[in-house]
Amino acid sequence: MQSLNYPMKTKKIEVIPVTGIPIVQQDDDITQLLAVAMNDAALSLVRGDVLIVSHTIVSIAEGRMYEESGIVPSQKAREIAAIGFSSETRVEIALQEASDIIREEPVLITKTKQGIITDFSGVDESNAPEGTLIVLPEDSDQSALRIHKSISEAAGFSVPVIITDTQGRPWRKGAVNLAIGIAGMSPFVKNEGRKDIFGKTLRSSLVCVADEIAASAELVMGQADEKVPVAIIRGFSLECTSGSAQDILREGSENIFK
pTM summary value = 0.91
Q: CA Rg, the chain, in Å?
A: 19
The Cα–Cα gap between 240 and 234 comes to 14
Give me the number of domains the chain comprises.
Answer: 2
Mean pLDDT of 105-120: 94
In a domain, 77, yes or no: yes
pLDDT at 29: 97
pLDDT at 109: 94
Same domain, 107 and 176: no
- pLDDT-derived band at 225 (thresholds 50, 70, 90) equals low
Same domain, 43 and 155: yes
- pLDDT-derived band at 193 (thresholds 50, 70, 90) equals low
Q: What is the separation, in whole angstroms, between the first and last Cα of the chain?
A: 24
* Tens digits of residue pLDDT in 17-43: 999 999 999 999 999 999 999 999 999
Same domain, 185 and 72: no
82, 110, 133 - which closes a domain: 133
Same domain, 185 and 118: no
Q: Is the pLDDT reported for residue 78 higher than 70?
A: yes
pLDDT at 191: 66
Per the prediction, the chain carries an average pLDDT of: 90
Same domain, 39 and 164: yes
Can you give the CATH number for the domain in which 24 is found?
Answer: 3.30.1330.100
Can you give the CATH number for the domain in which 104 is found?
Answer: 3.90.1660.10
Mean pLDDT of 173-187: 95
Q: Is the pLDDT reported for residue 197 higher than 80?
A: no
Same domain, 39 and 163: yes
109, 133, 157 - which closes a domain: 133
Q: Is the pLDDT reported for residue 1 higher than 60?
A: no
The Cα–Cα gap between 140 and 120 comes to 17
Same domain, 148 and 117: no
In a domain, 70, yes or no: yes
Full domain range(s) for residue 208: 14-62+137-252
Same domain, 207 and 82: no
In a domain, 107, yes or no: yes
In a domain, 166, yes or no: yes
In a domain, 198, yes or no: yes
Mean pLDDT of 93-108: 95
